[in-house]
Amino acid sequence: MSKTALVLVIVGALNWLLVGLFQFDLVASLFGGQASLVSRIIYTIVGLAGLYAISFLFNDRRTTI
C-alpha cells in the first residue's frame, strides 16, 4: 500500500508541476474538467494518498544487510 500511495503522490506532484509551469491540469484535461465527478474522485484519492504519505516522515525504518 505504501508504494501505491507514493505513486499517487508523485502523480499529484507532477500534475501540480504542470499547473505551475504551463497552467495545464492534466487530470482535468483527461477526465472532463476540474468539476467532473471522475476528476474530483482522482483528486480525492491523490489527496488521501498524500495524507497517508505523511506517515512516511515518522516511520522509523532501519535497513539491515
In a domain, 63, yes or no: no
Q: Is residue 41 part of a domain?
A: yes
Per the domain annotation, does 29 fall within a domain? yes
What is the reported pTM?
0.81
* Model confidence at 62: pLDDT above 80: no
Residues 6+ apart with CB under 8 A from 41: none
The tens digit of pLDDT for each residue in 2-60 reads 899 999 999 999 999 999 999 999 999 999 999 999 999 999 999 999 999 999 888 87
* Residue 64 lies inside a defined structural domain of this protein: no
13-29 tens-digit pLDDT: 999 999 999 999 999 99
Asked whether the CA dihedral 28, 31, 33, 35 is positive or negative, the reply is negative
Domain encompassing residue 44? 2-58
